[in-house]
Amino acid sequence: MPAAGAAVAGVAVAGVPVACVELLPVMTVLEYGADMAPRLREQPDRSQRGFGPDLLEALAACVELINTGRPGAADGIRTVADVQSFGRRYAFHGRAAGAGDIARLRAHRDGLAAVVAACDRADEDAAIAMLNALLRKTGAVPQIVAHDGRGPHIHVSRPATPLADRMAAHFAMALAEMVVMGESGRLRSCASPSCQAVFVDLSRNRSRRFCDSRTCGNRLHVAAYRARRSAAGQGSARSA
């Protein structure tokens, strides 16, 4: 077969002889999705450049909710007012909080915390299974809306859905987006043995280890320094 772009003589087009016809190159296209998997994650720069403001806000709210129920701290979701205040802080509109939302939101909080724990230990399959289950449980129905001067954005649930379910579905979608982007490793637990808080590592090289370097990180560094000083002092005493 002649190469693409080569001239072929003696060809008839619509029954009319043509002295020379130039062959055009033909590209074969793979079936949609056939080569998407390896390309979706070909992102050389894993910094937070691709994280939009809506995603960052949802992640911040998700982390805050999970941390209201960490061991060793007073539960931050105790009353209907707590649920309503949390929803208002992150601009959740629609049906107001009711008595049933307290236990409901606490249960969803535990589910979200389990997802983050799975991401922290690199168990993506478990995270995906739990996220899918949570989205089903909360009745997620994504839709595009615009309100209060904000441009078009996505609501994951209908306004009439219980507030606890709306919040949990929204946060679950944010975590799902992190998994799909290949960024689930940024969901972490604080490295301090005395802290159970979770956080999102938005550092360029994924090097953050503490929920707050000024508190947990500093305390751990001070403790390590004192341990080294103590060990050095004991070694000097034995050699004397």
pLDDT along the chain (240 residues), means of 10: 50 51 49 44 50 93 96 90 97 94 98 98 97 96 83 86 97 97 95 90 90 69 52 57
- Asked if the structure places residue 2 within a domain, the reply is no
- Asked if the structure places residue 204 within a domain, the reply is no
- Asked if the structure places residue 195 within a domain, the reply is no
The CATH number of the domain holding residue 164 is: 1.10.3300.10
The confidence score (pLDDT) of residue 170 equals 96
| Same domain flag for 167 and 238 | no
- Asked if the structure places residue 38 within a domain, the reply is no
| Same domain flag for 92 and 125 | yes
| Same domain flag for 157 and 59 | yes
| Same domain flag for 75 and 154 | yes
| Same domain flag for 167 and 115 | yes
The confidence score (pLDDT) of residue 236 equals 56
Q: Which residues form the domain of 150?
A: 51-189
| Same domain flag for 62 and 170 | yes
The confidence score (pLDDT) of residue 142 equals 85
| Same domain flag for 62 and 135 | yes
| Same domain flag for 71 and 148 | yes
The confidence score (pLDDT) of residue 218 equals 58
The confidence score (pLDDT) of residue 15 equals 53
Structural domain total, the chain: 2
Quickly list DSSP for the chain: -PPTT-EESSEEETTEEES-EEPPP--PPPPTTTTHHHHHT--S--SGGG--HHHHHHHHHHHHHHHTT-TTS--S--SHHHHHHHHHHTT--SSPP-THHHHHHHHHHHHHHHHHHHHHTT-HHHHHHHHHHHHHHTT---EEE--TT--SEEESS-TTS-HHHHHHHHHHHHHHHHHHTT-GGGEEE-S-TT---EEE---TTS---SS-IIIIIHHHHHHHHHHHHHHHHHHHHHH-
